[in-house]
Amino acid sequence: MIRDTEDLKALLGVPYTEEQLDAITAPLEPAVIVAGAGSGKTTVMAARVVWLVGTGQVGPHQVLGLTFTNKAAAELGERVRKALRKLEDEELDDPDSDVEESVGEPTVSTYHAYADRLIKEHGLRLGLEPSARLLADATRYQLAVTAVRGPKELRYFKGKVADLADKVLALDGELSEHLVSPAELREHEEAFIGQAESFRDPRNGKAKRGYTDFLKAAEIAKQRIELSELVERYRDLKLRRDLIDFGDQMVLGARLAEERPEVGVIEREKYKVVLLDEYQDTSVAQRRMLVGLFGGGHPVTAVGDPCQSIYGWRGASVANLDDFPEHFARADGSRSRGYALSENRRSGGHLLEFANVVSEPLRQKHTGVRQLRPSEEKADKGWTRVGLLETAEDEVKWVARMVADAHYRGGIALREIAVLVRKGNQIPPLYEEMHAQGLPVEVVGLSGLVHLPEVADLIAMLDVLDEPIANASLVRLLTGPRWRIGPRDLALLGMRARELVRDPAEYADRAGRDRLAEAVAGSDPTEVVSLSDAMADPGTDLPFSEEARIRFARFASEIRILRRRLSEPVLDVLHRVISVTGLDVEVAASPKLVAQRSAETLAAFLGRAADFQDLEGDQSVTAFRAYLKAAERHERGIDASLPSQGDSVKLLTMHKSKGLEWDAVFVPHLAGAGQKPRESWVGSGSVLPYPLRGDAEHLPRLDDAGNTAAFKSFKEQAKEYESWEDLRLEYVTVTRPRYDLVASGHWWGPTQKRRRGPDTWLAGLHEHCRDGHGEVVVWTGEPEADAVNPSLGAVEARWPVLPDAEAAERRRVGAEMVMAALWRRQAAGLAGRDQSGARDDFGELGPGSVEGDSALGGRGGDAATNSVTTNSVTTAVPQQHAAAAADSAASVADVPGQRASGPGAAAPDGTGPSGAGRPGVEAHEAAASAEDRAAIASWDRDLEALLEELRRGSSVQRQAPLPPSMSASQLLRYRTDPARFRRELARPMPQPPAPSARLGTKFHAWIESLFGQQALFEYEDLPGAADEDIADEVDLKELQDAFLRTPWADSVPAAVEQPFQVVLAGRVVRGRIDAVYKTSDGWEVVDWKTSRSHDADPVQLAVYRLAWAEMRGVAVESVSAAFVYVRDGQTVRPGGLPGRDELEELFAEG
C-alpha cells in the first residue's frame, strides 16, 4: 500500500515536483491539469493511477484513459501498466496482501475506439445494429465519389469529381463534429440567402451599394446547400451498406450519452476514474459525449495545453479546455479545480526563454497557463542559431550544410535531427539538397510525400488518365524531362483544344499563352477544353513541330493503353504507369544517390497506395485521387504517420511535429507571410457556418447588417483568430528541440517579384540570439528599394531544365558520337554484320538496344523500328531513336535565341543526322580526354546492364525492405520463410477466411475471462488469430474442458494477454503474451497452443521472455518460458532460448 507521496516517489523512482504531486494526489473529483510543453503529463497521469490504486480508492480495472492516437494510447497504457506492475510486485512480496485484488488493468483507448465500443454495446438503444463496420479511407472516398457522380445536376458547385468528393467529406466531417444535420444547415443557408437577396437591386439584378460581399457569400451558401445534398447522399450510401466513419462514431456516441441516460449510469459504474489526454484537441461532439457520460461531478481529470491547440482546422475546439470547470462542475455545481505543470524537462533553459516570449499573449488569453521553467540540470542549456539569406535557394543550401555540420561535427545522430516546414511544397528542395549532401532523409507523412518530384509526376499521370480535363497535370508532364515540349507547341496545343469545342474564330485574336492558361484553369467539366483530346488529335492545320507531333502521338498512345486498365486496383495501375513510362528503368540507371532517393520515395508512396483499400479490398483511382487531394489541401496532415526509428533526418510539417522531440530542430523558410489563412464559411462551401458551430461564441462573428463594414470587421476578426493559431504553432515548434534550434529565412523567393524578409518568428529569434541566447550565423542586409529578385534574372538555358543538366549534356554529346558512328557504318554498307548483335567501338548496338529518350536523360518506351536502307543493306534503328535524336532540336527550336542541334537534326548537306561527319563531332571524338573515354566506357557498361535487364524482363526481383514495426507473428513468419514474407510485403494479397482463427481468438478470450477483465484490442493483436487447428464450436468446447483439467486452470496469473513492444534489430516488435506467472525464483511466460502437433517455434517464447524481462527490468535469465499444448495438457519448456544478442543477429535484415 502507498501511504504518502514519499512512498510513491520511492516506488516509481521519479523525483516529482510539487506541482506534479498536487495533481497526482488530487481528490476524487473533476479537475483539469494545464500541462505545459515537456512537463511530463503522461508521467503524471500514470502516477495518478498508481496513487489511486495504491491508496485503495479504485481498482486498476476501474480506470479509463482516453487519448487521440494509437501511439499515444499505447504509450499511456504502457506507462500505466509499468507503474502498476511495480506496485503489484510490492503487493506480491507482502504476505498480507490479497493478490487477486490486483488482477485486471486499466482500459486505455482512443476517443474514437471508445465511442465505437459504446455503439457496439448500446447501439440497439437507438435502433442501431451492432454489426456496423468502420469505414476505411478508401471506402470513404469511394462512396463520396459515388455520391458526386449521382444523377442530380449541380447548378452552383462546379469542379472535378475528385475535388468535389473531398469537399463532401470535409463538410460531412464538420457537420458531425458539431452535431448539425444537413437539414439544419439548409434552413440556416436559405435564411441567409433570403436576407442577402433583399439587398439586390431589382432593376439590374446587381448588389446594392455596399452589399456586394453579402451577395457573394450568398452564392457560396447556394453551393453549400448543394453540397449538403451530396452529404445526405453519401450518408445514405453508408447506411445502406451498414457502414460508419469516425464522424458517425462521435455523433452516435453523443446521442447515446444525451438521449439514453442509462448508458451514462452503466459507464460511471464501470469506470470510477476517467483520464482525458490532449483535451484541447477534442471536438464539440466529443465534449458533449463525455459530459453526457461523466458529467455531474464524476472524477474526470482532463489534461491539455491551450497553447498547443493547433488542430482547429479539423474540428478541435480549444474552448473545451477553457470551459472545463463549467462543463465538468463538482457534484455541488461549483467550478472544478485546476492544476498547472510548468517545469519543462525536455528543453534547455535558453530555448524556454523564447518559448515564454511566444506564449505570453496566449497566457493572457487562457487562464491557468504558466511560464515554462527548465529543470535544474538544463537551466543553462539550449542554443539558438539564426540565418537570413538572400534567396530561397541560398537558404536551402545553407540549411543542408548546417544539418550536415550538426551531424558530422556536432555528433548528433541523424534520427535526432528534424527539419520542420510550414507547407508541404517546401519539402522537395530541402529533400534533394540534403540528399546531395549525402544525408539520408525521411519525409514523414503523405502531405509531404505528394510534393516530391517522382510522386508528383505519378499523381499527375493518374490525373490525366482519370480526368480528361486535368489540363494542369498534362502540362506538367509535357514540359517535364521526358517529353520536353516547348512553349510554342504548348501554345498551339491550347489553340487546338479550343478548336475542338468552340468556333476557332472566336479565339483567333487572343494570345496563345492566354488560350493555354484558360485551358489549364478551367471550371465547368462540360465546357472546359481538354488538352488531352487536343494531343490525341492535333489536326493538320496548326504548325506544330514534327518532333512535337511524334511525341504527342506516343504519349496519347500510352494514355489510351493505360486508361483501359483504370478499373484495376490502384497499386496495379501505379505499377503499370511506372512500367510503361520507364520510370523504374530511369531510377535504376540514375547515379547511386539519386537512385536511392528516388527508389525510397516511390516505395513510400506505393506503400501508402497499397494501404488504400476499402473493407472489401476494392479500390478506385478516382477515390485515391480524392484522398491525395485532401492530403495536399490539408498539408497540416490528414494522416497519422509517425517518424520511423531509422537513422535518417526527419523532414515533416510543423503540425505533424506535435508530441515529438529531437536533439536538434531546423525551421527554414521563416520569411514573408505566415501560415496560409484557413478558409472561412463566407468564402468556401465546404466550411460550416460559424453560427451553427458548438463553439460559435469563440469565433469571428458576421454582423447581421451584412454591409461592407460588417464584412470588413469579420475579416479583421478572422485575421486575428488566425494569428492566434499561428502563435500556437510557433510555440509547438520552438518547444520540440532538446538542445539546438536553427531557424532561417530569405529575402527573395524562387518566383516572387516582391521581397519577403524575416517574418515575426525569425525577427523574434534574431533578437533572442542578440540577447545572449544564441548565435546569428549569417544575416543578409535588406536589398535596395529598386533591387530585383536575382532568381528571376534572364539566363540563357536549354529548355526545359533537366534534373541533372551536366549529365544531360554529357549524354547529348555521347548520343551525337553514337549516331555519327551509326551513320558511318550505314554509309560504308557493312553488309554481313549481324544486325541484332553487331559491335563496334561503342558497344552492342541493334534494334531496341537504346531506350528511346534515355540517351538524353528522358524515359524511353516501346516503339516500332524505322529501317533505313542503303545499298540493299538494312540497318535497323528504333523509331524512338529518331525522337531521341531530335530532342534537342525539337525543344530548343521552340525557344527564341537557342540553337537547334542534336543527333536528329538534318546535316547541312541534308544527307544524314547532324553531327555525322561534322567537324564538331569529329573533334569530340579525336580530342576525347581520358575522362571522356572513361565516361564512354561507363556508357558501354550501362548499355550492357540495360540489355541484361531487358533479357531478364519480368524475372527481375527486388527485395522489399522490412517494415519498421512488426507483430511477433510476422517476425516468426519472416524467420520461417524470408523470401515469401518479402513477396507478401511487396505485393500484399487478400487472405482466405479463417474460421479456425476466429475460434482461436474465442478460446483465448475465454481463458482471459477466467482470470480478469478483458482489455480493448487492436485487430492485428487479437489473441489466437494464428491458431489454425480449431475445427468448430464443438472442438472449441472440448478445448475449454481440456484446459480446465490442466493445473494451469487453478493458478492465478500475474498478467493475462499482456501487450508488449520490444526493439529487435532496429525494428519495433509488438505482440501479446498469453499469460505470465510469478514463480519462486522469478517469472514464467506461457503461450497457450491449441494445435495438435507439438511444433511451435521456441523463438516465439524467446521474444516473449525478453519482452517481459525488459518490461520488468529484470535479468532475462530470471524469466522461464513454456508452451502449454492444451489438447493433451502437456507443458513444454524449451531449453537454450536465445537472449537479446542472439535474437538481434537472428532477425537482422540481410
Whether the ω angle into residue 440 lies within 30 degrees of 0, i.e. cis, is: no
Confidence of residue 860 (pLDDT cuts 50, 70, 90): very low
Mean pLDDT across the chain, nearest whole number?
80
Task: pLDDT band for 588, please (50, 70, 90 cuts).
Answer: confident
Residue 22: how many other CB atoms lie within 10 Å: 18
With bands split at pLDDT 50, 70 and 90, how would you rate the model's confidence at 378? very high
Determine the pLDDT at residue 883.
Answer: 37
Rounded Cα gap, residues 303 and 321, in angstroms: 8
Percentage of the residues of the chain whose pLDDT score is greater than 70 = 77
- The pLDDT of residue 715 is above 70: yes
What pLDDT is recorded for position 961?
A: 67
With cut-offs at 50, 70 and 90, classify the pLDDT of residue 592. low
- Lowest mean pLDDT, pick from 512-526, 688-702, 810-824, 901-915: 901-915
Q: pLDDT per residue over 1028-1049, tens digit each?
A: 444 456 677 888 888 888 888 8
> Could you tell me which residue, 374 or 978, shows the higher pLDDT?
374
Q: What's the average model confidence in pLDDT over 958-966?
A: 67
**Closest Cα partner for 1087 from 1108, 1068, 1067, 1069?**
1108
Q: Give the residue-averaged pLDDT of 13-20.
A: 93
CB 905 within 8 A of CB 563: no
Q: How far apart are CA 934 and CA 940, in angstroms?
A: 10
pLDDT at 674: 57
pLDDT-derived band of residue 76, with 50, 70 and 90 as boundaries? confident
Least confident range from 64-68, 355-359, 524-528, 1058-1062: namely 524-528
Task: Please name which of 773, 7, 963, 900 lies closest in space to residue 381, comparing C-alpha atoms.
Answer: 773
Would you say residue 827 has pLDDT above 90?
Answer: no
Q: Write out pLDDT tens, residues 611-645.
A: 776 544 456 788 888 778 776 665 444 455 677 77
* pLDDT higher at 286 or 591: 286
Q: Please give the residue that has the higher pLDDT: either 802 or 692.
A: 692
What CA–CA distances, in Å, run from 719 to 635, 674, 713, 1017?
20, 11, 10, 44
User: Higher model confidence: residue 349 or residue 145?
Assistant: 349
Q: Which domains does the chain have, with CATH numbers?
A: 5-123+250-341 (3.40.50.300), 134-241 (no CATH), 382-444+642-680+724-782 (3.40.50.300), 449-615 (1.10.486.10), 807-950 (no CATH), 965-1146 (3.90.320)
Q: Looking at residue 605, what is its pLDDT?
A: 87
State the pLDDT at residue 356. 95
Q: Where does the pLDDT of residue 915 fall: very low under 50, low under 70, confident under 90, or very high at 90 and above?
A: very low
pLDDT of residue 804: 57
Least confident window among 148-152, 599-603, 856-860, 1079-1083: 856-860
Q: CA 289, CA 149: separation in Å to the nearest integer?
A: 34
pLDDT band at 1149 (very low <50, low <70, confident <90, very high): low
Higher pLDDT, 927 or 1147: 1147
Q: Other C-beta atoms within 10 Å of 226: how many?
A: 18
| pTM exceeding 0.75 | no
Reduce the DSSP state of residue 922 to 3 states and report it.
helix
**What pLDDT score does 928 carry?**
55
Q: Residue 512 — very low, low, confident or very high, per pLDDT cuts 50/70/90?
A: low
pLDDT at 858: 38
Half-sphere exposure of 62 (CA within 13 A, CB side): 17
pLDDT value of position 673: 66
All cell numbers assigned to 857: 536523360
The 3-state secondary structure of 717-773 reads HHHHHHHHHHHHHHHHHHCCEEEEEEEEEEEECCCCCCCCCECHHHHHHHHHHHHHH
- The more confident residue out of 161 and 889 is 161
In this prediction, residue 369 carries a pLDDT of: 93
Mean pLDDT throughout 180-190?
96
Q: From 1007, 1049, 1045, select the one nearest 1128 (Cα to Cα).
A: 1045
Comparing 113-127, 258-272, 908-922, 955-969, the range with the smallest average pLDDT is 908-922
Q: Which of 485, 471, 576, 581 is nearest to 532 (CA)?
A: 471
The pLDDT value given to residue 693: 93
Which residues are CB-contacts of 387 (< 8 A; sequence separation ≥ 6)?
Answer: 395, 398, 402, 742, 743, 744, 745, 776, 777, 778, 779
Q: For residue 55, what is the DSSP state? A: T
Over residues 400-420, mean pLDDT? 94
pLDDT value of residue 188: 95
State how far Cα 649 lies from the chain centre: 16
Please tell me the predicted confidence (pLDDT) of residue 793.
Answer: 65
Place 997 in a pLDDT band, splitting at 50, 70 and 90.
low
Least confident of 214-228, 688-702, 1063-1077: 1063-1077
DSSP annotation of 677 reads P
Q: State yes or no: pLDDT of 1101 exceeds 80.
A: yes
Q: What is the pLDDT of residue 848?
A: 34
Write the CB contacts of 1044 (distance below 8 Å, at least 6 apart in sequence).
none
